[in-house]
């Protein structure tokens, strides 16, 4: 589900030490004599074994000399096992133009591409240069890109976004810099406390007796990854439409298998829409089927105008603790 990896706050490290020499595969027809510009930086990447492959790419590669110079030093940065410790995910619709702002010192690498396929190969072979050329133009605009946009449901990811907003506000209103910085510091402290509360309940040393959550809408990838809980959902990223019978069966079977007692829906979901699923979960231990509770995604303004991000996330935590037997 995650689209991109970035430096952040999780401890799933990935060794990119010797593998980034192969990132040149991703540049389509853009590789030729440029490899000579890397000097000793690429000794570990076995480029000599592939010299014949690069001779076939013509003069188009001359335009990209400078691109490869920029990659030389980058490879050294990954050799010491620094790894990447977070995910950033971009949800891209079929139409429109999109951008994604990150601090300049964060390097991002694609994990999954169109239709959920694995991203670019980080193996040791350069044989697929020809496969990444102009065929990208053949992709249809109608192809589904399944990326979870709900990054704010992870307090740590949301905290990183605060700094981006802060920088833009200061740029726009420099006279208010001290006020913005004070407000941002206070809010980030609240996010730290929220993360600690989630971790205490849902983390490795948490008090929850179950790790599986049933929900209506697959909006919780960030939360699931951060706190190592599993969501099984009726709908995918798009909560609209009628779910397939196979998706409903998957959820019903998971509820029975893991003894899940609660089905979470969004604030604006018509609970009658899940009545059929609830009926299928009735058993001797749950004669009325699973309970239906709210887990806020905050995609729309809250019904209670006094609520804000922190209060809704606290409600989410309380609901999860109840549903998971914490």
91 versus 322: the higher-pLDDT residue is: 322
Question: What pLDDT is recorded for position 89?
Answer: 56
Please check the confidence at residue 190 and state whether its pLDDT lies above 80. Answer: yes
Per-residue pLDDT reduced to its tens digit, 11-70: 444 444 444 444 444 444 444 444 444 444 444 444 444 444 444 444 444 444 444 444
| pLDDT at 196 (0 to 100) | 95
**145 has a pLDDT exceeding 60:** no
* Rounded Cα distance, 127 and 46, in Å: 13
Task: Using the Cα atoms of residue 115, residue 108, residue 14 and residue 31 in order, give the sign of their dihedral.
Answer: positive
Nearest by Cα to 313 from 159, 147, 87, 85: 159
Please give the model's pTM, rounded to 2 decimal places: 0.55
The share of the chain scoring above pLDDT 90, in percent, equals: 27
Q: Give 117 or 260, the one with higher predicted confidence.
A: 260
Supply the Cα-derived Rg of the chain in whole angstroms.
Answer: 24
Q: What's the whole-number mean pLDDT along residues 220-232? A: 89
By the 8 A CB rule, do 160 and 101 touch? Answer: no
> What does the pLDDT read at residue 184?
97
Full set of structural domains in the chain with CATH: 4-138 (no CATH), 200-323 (3.40.50.1980)
What was the pLDDT predicted at 180? 97
């Amino acid at each position: 589900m995650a689209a991109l990896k970035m430096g952040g706050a999780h401890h799933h490290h990935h060794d990119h030490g010797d593998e980034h020499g192969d990132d040149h595969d991703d540049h389509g027809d853009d590789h030729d004599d440029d490899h000579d510009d890397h000097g000793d930086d690429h000794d570990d990447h076995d480029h000599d074994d592939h010299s014949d492959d690069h001779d076939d790419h013509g003069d188009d590669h001359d335009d990209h000399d400078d691109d490869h110079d920029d990659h030389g030093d980058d490879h050294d940065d990954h050799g010491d096992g620094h790894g990447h410790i977070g995910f950033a995910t971009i949800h891209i619709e079929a139409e429109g133009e999109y951008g994604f702002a990150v601090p300049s010192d964060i390097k991002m690498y694609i994990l999954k591409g169109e239709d959920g396929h694995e991203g670019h190969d980080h193996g040791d072979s350069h044989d697929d240069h020809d496969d990444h050329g102009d065929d990208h133009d053949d992709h249809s605009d109608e192809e589904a890109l399944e990326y979870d946009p709900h990054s704010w449901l992870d307090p740590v990811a949301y905290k990183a976004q605060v700094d981006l907003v802060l920088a833009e506000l200061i740029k726009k209103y420099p006279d208010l810099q001290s006020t913005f910085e004070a407000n941002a510091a206070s809010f980030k402290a609240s996010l730290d406390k929220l993360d600690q509360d989630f971790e205490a309940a849902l983390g490795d040393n948490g008090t929850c007796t179950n790790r599986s959550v049933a929900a209506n809408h697959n909006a919780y990838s960030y939360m699931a990854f951060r706190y190592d809980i599993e969501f099984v959902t009726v709908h995918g990223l798009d909560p609209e439409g009628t779910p397939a019978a196979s998706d409903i069966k998957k959820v019903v079977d998971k509820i029975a298998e893991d003894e899940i007692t609660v089905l979470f829906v969004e604030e604006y979901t018509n609970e009658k829409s899940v009545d059929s699923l609830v009926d299928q979960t009735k058993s001797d231990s749950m004669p009325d089927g699973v309970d239906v509770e709210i887990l806020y995604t905050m995609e729309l303004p809250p019904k209670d105008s006094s609520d804000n991000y922190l209060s809704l996330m606290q409600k989410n935590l309380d609901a999860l603790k109840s549903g998971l037997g914490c």
